[in-house]
Amino acid sequence: MNAPEAELRKSPNPTAAELLVIMMSDISEEAWCAGWKHGCEYDIWKIAIGEKTTFGQWDIPPEIAAKLKRLASECRGWWCWDDGPVFVSLSDWQRKFEEGDRP
């Protein structure tokens, strides 16, 4: 999945941000045969923080969870979907996640 250049530039580390959005899309595709399953950013975040180990029919290996967490830290953000991938700062994402602002 290609993220818009403007979204990538929101991150202090666009390379890590791009790797993260690709990885999130690949996980959605592997688990659900969907490039971005509706709301997958919440489930994938749970994987990254160790609250979940399965997604769809896929048992997520610990090294993938660790890589998600590392990339989020490196790019200081997370990806959401709003008619396309949208980069949000890690602090904004954590607040959104904790408030339960789910689709």
Write out pLDDT tens, residues 26-46: 999 988 888 889 889 999 999
Question: 31 is written with which tokens?
Answer: 């688990």
Give the whole-angstrom CA distance, residue 79 versus residue 34: 16
Share of the chain above pLDDT 70, in %: 97
Give the whole-angstrom CA distance, residue 26 versus residue 94: 22
Give the whole-angstrom CA distance, residue 15 versus residue 3: 11
Give the chain's end-to-end CA distance (angstroms, integer).
21
| Pairing assessment for the beta strands 77-81 and 58-59 based on DSSP bridges | unpaired
pLDDT value, residue 101? 64
What average pLDDT does the chain have? 93
pLDDT value, residue 2? 82
Question: 56 is written with which tokens?
Answer: 């769809």
Alpha helices in 33-86, H assignment, sequence order: 40-48, 62-75
The predicted model scores a pTM of: 0.92
Does 103 or 49 have the greater pLDDT score? 49
